Structure 1
Amino acid sequence: MASVHLLPGRQRRLADGHPWVYRTEIADVQGSPEPGAVVDVVDSRGRFVARGLYNPQSMIAVRIVTRDPDEAVDEQLIRRRLEEAWSYRRRVVPEHLGACRVVSGEADGLPGLFVDRYDRVLVVQVVSLGMERLLHAVLPALRDLLDPTSIYLRNDVPVRQLEGLPLDSGWAYHTGPDRVWVQEHGVPFVVDVVAGQKTGHYLDQRDNRPLVRPLAAGARVLDAFCHTGGFALNAALGQAESVVAVDSSAAALATLQENAARAGLGGRIETVEANAFDLLRAHDREGRRYDVIILDPPPFARNRASLPGARRGYKEINLRALRLLTPGGFLVTCSCSFHMTPDLFREVVAEAARDAGRRLRLAAERAQGPDHPIVPGYPESHYLKCLIYEVR
C-alpha cells in the first residue's frame, strides 16, 4: 500500500483524535497513490499512525478512516460504520429518527459523507474525493439498513470543488418527492430536499428551538434570520403575545407561513422580508422593544481569514439586539461558524453587552444535537453555539 510520511512531530495531533492530515504536514509520499486511493500514514520514523483516503489536490491531503493497521478500508468497513452510526442514533435520538442526521462525516468514521433522513427519503452529501470513490458501497448499504423509498444526492456544495469534484445533484435511488413533511418536537416542517438550505433543513438546531417556548409566554418575540421558522414557530406555540420573523429570502418566509398553517398557527406570525442587520438598526432608531430576540444567522466566518469581519458582524447584531430588549428579556444568540470558537463567541457577546450598557446572566449554553456528534480531538466537530442570556 502507498504511504504518506509525516514531518517530525506531526503525528501528535492525529494521536489526539484529529481525522485530517494537511498537505503541509507531509514530508514524502511513497508508492504513487492515485487521488482518492487508500494510503497508510506513518510518522517520521516510519511507524504506522493511521489509514485514510488520499487527495493531493486538497489542503486536507488525507482523511483518516481507521487507526487499526489490520483493518482494511473496503465495503465491509463502510457497511459496518453505517450500521454503527444508525445504532448510535437509535439510542441517542430515538424520538427523532424520522428527521435526523444518520451519518455525520468524520464524527462517524466516514470522512466527507453526510446522510440525513427525512421520513423515508434519504439525502446524501459527499464532500471528499475518497468517499466519492466509495459511494458504490455506501448506497446499497443505506438501502439495506434504512429501507428508504428514495435517495437524493445533494452534491451541490462549493467545498466539493476544493476536492476536485463536480457540483451535481439528482436522485440516486428511485425518484422521490421534492418536498417532505416531517415532525420536530411536535412542530411540522416541510423539507425541500432538492433546493432547501443544507440538505433541506437545519437539523442541528432541532433540540435548541423548543427552548424558546417557555421564554416566549406572553412575550413580544423577534426572530432574526428566521429561515423557515424553526424558532418562530416554537415561540408562537409558547403563547407569545406577538412574533415577528425576519429573513431576506421571500421563499423561506413563504415556507414559514406554510409550516405555520400546518401547525394551526396561521396568522400568529408576522413575516418581514428584510436584511436583519438593517431591520435591527431601524427598530433601534424607532425605539421598538422586544422581550425575546433570537439571532441565528448564517456562518459569518467560513475560514480563518474572514474571522475579524465575522467578529464585527456578530458584535453588531448582538449589540443591536441587546439595545432592543426589555429588562428581564432574553437573548437567544447562535453561531454556526467553527472559527468563532465558544470562548470567542462568549467574549463577543460580552463586549456587545458592555457597549450596550446591559448585564447578562447565562441561562443555557448549547451545541448541536447528539446526532451531530462532537468528537474530542476534532474541534471542527463542535461548530454550533447557542447561548441563552437573561438581559438586565
Structure 2
Amino acid sequence: MSATLILHPGKERSLIKRHPWIFDTSLARLVGQARLGDTVTVCDTHGKPLAKAAYSPHSKIRARVWSFDPDVPIDHAFFKRRVAEAVRRRAALPELATQQGLRLIHAESDGLPGVIADRYGDTVVVQLTSAGADKWRDAIIAGLIQATGCARLFERSDSELRALEGLEPATGWRFGAAPEGEIVIEEHGVKMAVDIVAGHKTGFYLDQRANRRLLAELSHGKRVLNCFCYTGGFSLQALAGGATRVLSIDSSQPALERAVANLALNPGLDASRAVWRCANVFEELRQLKAAGETFDLIVLDPPKFAPSAAHIGRASRAYKDVNLLGFKLLAPGGLMMTYSCSGGIGVELFQKIVAGAALDAGRTARIVKRLQGAADHPIDLAFPEGEYLKGLLLQVD
C-alpha cells in the first residue's frame, strides 16, 4: 500500500484546479514510508484522496502529480498509455506530421512531469529530470520505443534540475546503436546537424521551429543580426529567406564552428553573406553601436537569465540591457524578434522590460505578433509555468 501525503487545510485548491505541483509548504505530514520517486496518494486535511503523485523528499516541489484520479494504478501500463497519447496528439496536427525534428513529450503539459522526449529522424532522445520520472525510466523508454518505432534511443538526463531532486546524471544509449555518422534533420528546407550527446538541451532548440520559419519570411533583402546564435538555426533561415547579410554572434567557439558546418550542409545558401563572430554579445553590441552599424532585423534569443524566482531581478536587468542595445542598433522601420526562455519572467513582465528598454532608447515600438513555442510544445491550461518561452515581434520607428 502506498504512503499518503496529507495537505494543510486549503492547500488542496491547486490540486482541484489540476495544477500538478505540490510544494513542501503545502504538506502537513507523510503517513507511511516513501522513498525517492515512489508513488504516493495525496489527500486533503480530512483524508479524502485527490491524486496520485511522485514523491521527492529533497525538492521544494515535494510531489508531482501523475494522475488526478486517485484510483488510477500507476504502473508500466499507465506510462506506456501516457506516452502513446502524447505521440498521437502530435500526429493529429498537420503542421507537425512531416517534421523530422519533433518534441514528443513536453513534461507536465503531457501529463508526465519531468519527462522530455524529442525525435530527430529515427532517433529519440529522452531526458528525465524528476525523481518520479527516473523511477519509471524503463516503462517510459519502453513506451517511446513502442509508440515511435525508433531505431535508437539515447538518454540525456544530465540537466542540473536532477541535483535538486537528489539524482545523479544518467546518459547513454538505452536502445539500438549509435548512428555511424552525425544526425542531420531538415527544417523548412534547411539542413541542420544535431549533437544529441553534447549539444544544448537534447541537441537542438525545437521550440523555436515556427519562429525560425517566420524569420525566413521576414528576411528578404534585409541586414540581419542574430544574437546568441548557437549553431545557427535562425541565421540559416535568414539566409534561406534572402537576407543580404547575416551577422551572428555567440560566446561559444564550438557552437559557431558547428554553425559554419551546418551552413556547409546547405550549398544552396550563399555563405559569403554570413559573418560569424565569437564574442560576448553585450560587449559586441556596444562596439557595433560605437562603429555606427545598423540592422533591418534583429533576433535576440538569449539563454535562460532567470533559472529560478531568486534570479528575477538580475535577469530583468540583463533582458533590459540587451533589448536596449538592440533598439539602438535597429534602423528606422526595422523589426526585432526578442525572446525570454526564463520561466520566472512572465509574459507581462517581459513586455514591461522591453517597453522600458524602448523608452530608454528613445524608440517607438509596436507589437506585431506575440511569439511562443512551437505546436509540439503545448501548454496545459492548468499549468501556466509551462509557457517558459515567450517573445515579441516588434516594428520600430
Q: State the TM bucket, normalised to the shorter chain.
A: over 0.9
- Structure 2 Cα separation of the partners of residues 247 and 289 of structure 1: 18
Q: Which of 138, 153, 156 is the equivalent residue of 2:155? A: 153
Structure-to-structure mapping, 1:64-83, within 5 angstroms: 64-83=65-84
- TM-score normalised to structure 2 length: 0.96
User: Is 1:53 aligned to residue 58 of structure 2?
Assistant: no
Match of 1:391 in 2: 396
Offset of residue 287 of structure 1: 1.3
User: Is 1:295 aligned to residue 296 of structure 2?
Assistant: no
C-alpha RMSD of matched pairs (Å)? 1.2
Offset of residue 69 of structure 1: 2.4
Deviation string 1:48-103 (CA, Å, 9 cap, x unpaired) is 21111111111111110001122111111111101100000101243344211111
Q: Aligned pair in 2 of structure 1 residues 97, 288: CA closer, same or farther (>3 Å)?
A: closer
Contact 1:150–1:174 (Cα < 8 Å) also in 2:
yes
Match of 1:257 in 2: 260
User: Is 1:179 aligned to residue 182 of structure 2?
Assistant: yes
Offset of residue 138 of structure 1: 1.5
Offset of residue 295 of structure 1: 0.3
Aligned to 2:210, the other structure's residue is in SS state: coil
Amino acid at match of 1:44: T
- Structure 2 Cα separation of the partners of residues 333 and 272 of structure 1: 20
Match of 2:321 in 1: 316
Q: Which of 374, 378, 384 is the equivalent residue of 2:383? A: 378
Amino acid at match of 2:237: N
Offset of residue 179 of structure 1: 2.9
Match of 1:111 in 2: 113
Match of 1:243 in 2: 246
Match of 1:348 in 2: 353
Q: Which of 144, 147, 151 is the equivalent residue of 2:146? A: 144
Offset of residue 365 of structure 1: 0.4
- Structure 2 Cα separation of the partners of residues 360 and 16 of structure 1: 37
Contact 1:38–1:52 (Cα < 8 Å) also in 2:
yes
Contact 2:225–2:297 (Cα < 8 Å) also in 1:
yes
Contact 1:221–1:291 (Cα < 8 Å) also in 2:
yes
Match of 2:224 in 1: 221
Match of 1:327 in 2: 332
User: Is 1:44 aligned to residue 45 of structure 2?
Assistant: yes
User: Is 1:193 aligned to residue 188 of structure 2?
Assistant: no
Offset of residue 152 of structure 1: 0.7
Match of 2:21 in 1: 20
Match of 1:99 in 2: 101
Contact 2:96–2:102 (Cα < 8 Å) also in 1:
no
Offset of residue 156 of structure 1: 1.2
Offset of residue 128 of structure 1: 1.1
Aligned to 2:272, the other structure's residue is in SS state: coil
Offset of residue 207 of structure 1: 0.7
- Structure 1 Cα separation of the partners of residues 35 and 348 of structure 2: 41
Identity between Structure 1 and Structure 2 (%): 40
Q: Size of the alignment, in residue pairs?
A: 392
Amino acid at match of 1:335: S
Aligned to 1:208, the other structure's residue is in SS state: helix
- Structure 2 Cα separation of the partners of residues 227 and 33 of structure 1: 42
Match of 1:125 in 2: 127
- Structure 1 Cα separation of the partners of residues 185 and 218 of structure 2: 25
User: Is 1:281 aligned to residue 286 of structure 2?
Assistant: yes
Moved more, 120-129 or 207-216: 207-216
- Structure 2 Cα separation of the partners of residues 96 and 3 of structure 1: 45
- Structure 1 Cα separation of the partners of residues 110 and 161 of structure 2: 19
- Structure 1 Cα separation of the partners of residues 46 and 366 of structure 2: 52
Offset of residue 385 of structure 1: 0.8
- Structure 1 outlier segments of 4+, above 4 Å: none
- Structure 2 Cα separation of the partners of residues 70 and 106 of structure 1: 20
Offset of residue 168 of structure 1: 2.8
- Structure 1 Cα separation of the partners of residues 139 and 284 of structure 2: 49
Contact 1:155–1:169 (Cα < 8 Å) also in 2:
yes
- Structure 1 Cα separation of the partners of residues 217 and 86 of structure 2: 33
Offset of residue 377 of structure 1: 2.0
Match of 2:64 in 1: 63
- Structure 2 Cα separation of the partners of residues 105 and 214 of structure 1: 31
- Structure 2 Cα separation of the partners of residues 34 and 262 of structure 1: 49
Contact 2:18–2:68 (Cα < 8 Å) also in 1:
no
- Structure 1 Cα separation of the partners of residues 110 and 155 of structure 2: 19
- Structure 1 Cα separation of the partners of residues 28 and 71 of structure 2: 24
**Runs of 5+ in structure 2 lacking a partner?**
none
Aligned to 1:355, the other structure's residue is in SS state: helix
Match of 1:231 in 2: 234
Moved more, 85-94 or 202-211: 85-94
- Structure 2 Cα separation of the partners of residues 336 and 149 of structure 1: 31
User: Is 1:164 aligned to residue 166 of structure 2?
Assistant: yes
Moved more, 92-101 or 66-75: 92-101
Contact 1:89–1:97 (Cα < 8 Å) also in 2:
no
